[in-house]
Amino acid sequence: MKAEMLRTPFFLVDENKLIHNLEILKSVSTCTGCRILLAQKAFSMFSVYPLLRKYLDGTTASGLYEARLGYEEFGRETHVYSPAFREDEFTELLKYADHFVFNSPCQVKRFAGRAKAAGKGVGLRVNPQCSTQEGHAIYDPCAPGSRLGTTLEEFDESIAYMLDGLHFHTLCEQDSDDLEVTAAAFEEKFGRYLYWMKWLNFGGGHHITKPGYDIDRLMKIIRHFQEKYRLQVYLEPGEAVVLNAGYLECSVLEVVKNGMEIAILDTSAACHMPDVLEMPYRPPLQGSGLPGEKPYTFRLAGPTCLAGDVIGDYSFDEPLREGSKLIFEDMALYTMVKTNTFNGMPLPSIVYRDGEGNCHIEREFGYEDFKKRLS
């Protein structure tokens, strides 16, 4: 089936583009011996886990549900990190996760004994207090007052003997020069503990599959830690796994005017691509230009009641009209996992385009999906 025949809106994930990214990631793990995990928070389309499993070493989870999904659908290694684990979920989590990363010495004291007794790895997320991001404070785990990771001041040496590994995650869509700065700050603060560790996890936020990313520098940093401290380095990218590998295809429902032309779409920023509003950013749209660049400029907006449900202003060669199809790009990451049914908005279907260009509907949603989240 061709994508043009499908009812919009739908997310489409493209196998060839996915494989392109996976091969880059695999080359990093093969060349360095590091292990790469899928951060499911960015992408949990489990119907493609059998493909991902051929290239990646496992998954990382943010809690019980993602850990279970990774364990049941992906296999290989399952890691889990949470800012605070819950007592009433921990026993079940022990069934799914191989490695637990705790956020504080207190959580280590509370849970590590049980994890160890079950033969699990135990790690601590540390906060190297080194911000390398500009602009997006909500994505900066090193921002002042952050709850994410233990600072050196709060590090309690008495728990060090319980730890198999350390974890830091500080980056968001960044190149390896920022990793280098972070890794140096981390090593200066926590390096002396690494001699006792079996592994070190560099977290996510590495834009490895973005054209121009400096992979050689990444590999140099990985080798430095693995050779100096004789440990296993893990990376847990989410975004890099599916970067530019997915689309959100939608249709124009209606065009209205209010000082400018406004196209109301059958997709919503608030419900289907909330990062557009949260981050915020302007998603790439096939065949479009900046406002005024092409002859016809339109504001693209969602059909919800939220006044700010606006995707952005774009220009086109031809005017948009009811039924015009639009394809937003780079829509695999942090979209499907973040959708919601505010206003009773239907969820976009999930479609997979195989290597031959045939589209398969993996999942369609209906009224029951909206209703069953309510009471």
Ligand X SMILES: Cc1ncc(COP(=O)(O)O)c(C=O)c1O
Q: Which residues contact ligand X (rule: CB under 6 A)?
A: 39, 41-42, 81, 169, 172, 203-205, 236-240
Residue 20 has φ and ψ, to the nearest 5°, of -55, -50
Tokens for 263, please give them.
């196209």
Gap between the terminal Cα atoms of the chain: 37
Q: How far is the CB of 125 from ligand X (least distance, A)?
A: 7
Q: How far is the CB of 194 from ligand X (least distance, A)?
A: 19
- Report helix, strand or coil for 167: strand
Cβ distance to ligand X smaller for residue 165 or 204: 204
Cβ distance to ligand X smaller for residue 203 or 302: 203
Cβ distance to ligand X smaller for residue 105 or 237: 237
Cβ distance to ligand X smaller for residue 146 or 226: 146
Cβ distance to ligand X smaller for residue 167 or 299: 167
Q: How far is the CB of 268 from ligand X (least distance, A)?
A: 22
Cβ distance to ligand X smaller for residue 81 or 225: 81
3-state helix, strand, coil in the chain (%, to 5): 35, 25, 40
Do the Cβ atoms of 15 and 332 come closer than 8 Å? no
Tell how strand 165-167 and strand 199-201 pair up.
parallel
Q: How far is the CB of 288 from ligand X (least distance, A)?
A: 26
Tell how strand 199-201 and strand 261-265 pair up.
unpaired
Residue nearest to ligand X (CB): 204
Tokens for 161, please give them.
């003997």
Q: How far apart are CA 313 and CA 41, in angstroms?
A: 29
Q: Considering only CA atoms, which of 204, 142, 168 is closest in space to residue 333?
A: 204
Burial label, 230 (beta-carbon count in 10 A; 0-12, 13-18, 19+) = exposed
Q: How far is the CB of 55 from ligand X (least distance, A)?
A: 16
Q: How far is the CB of 136 from ligand X (least distance, A)?
A: 11
